[in-house]
Amino acid sequence: GVIPRCELRGGVAQCAFDCIEGTFDADGLANNGCELTPDPEAIYVTTSENGGVDGNDCGDFVRPCATIAVGQQRATAANRGRIRVAEGVYREGVVLRNGLEVLGGHQRTTWERNGLLFPTVVQGSTEIDIHYATVVARDIDQPTVFDGFVVRAESPLFDGNSYGIYVVNAGPELSITNNSILAGNGGRGRDGDAGGSGDAGSIG
């Protein structure tokens, strides 16, 4: 991804390079050149700890959004078909949008994708009646992808079930692949009502 050139540094000729148009030296390391070719169909998301900021103009690799929810909103608004999510922990429930790809497992600087090396963890919940679900896919009838995540289901305190991924009314257009799903516990229930008094004992 480079155009090599020679430049003088302190009167000494040294090798240098310029990036080919459309490529970027995202990590600032000369030994791998201009390693990043941005995806024009993608919105980029990284955690706020790694520089993500939600806003009306977030989403390119220089100014990624901070949450998957806002990334999906921006993808819909900008007519993009893909969300690329960097490594880290995202404390939010995710409701998949019809027709969008949501891809985890990216390195936060170069955006290299390897889910084993760069785990992307979703840890949150969306309430469905009294139940908790971390990822929800509902009414999916267009090609939709959720791939490359670690899903940690939350456990309700009292009532309801815990779902890592909750799917309802979705056809073969939905693809859920290459994810690790860690189950939560169902709610322990609430104390029942006190029983009525028993019959009086017989006279001694």
pLDDT digits (tens, 9 = 90+) for 38-75: 999 999 999 999 999 999 999 999 999 999 999 999 99
Nearest to 39, CA basis, from 3, 76, 73, 75: 75
HSE (CB half, 13 Å, CA atoms) of 7? Answer: 7
Structure tokens at 104: 């985890």
Query: Structure pTM?
Result: 0.85
Contact 45, 85 (CB under 8 A): yes
pLDDT digits (tens, 9 = 90+) for 120-154: 999 998 888 889 999 999 999 999 999 999 999 99
Contact 143, 116 (CB under 8 A): no
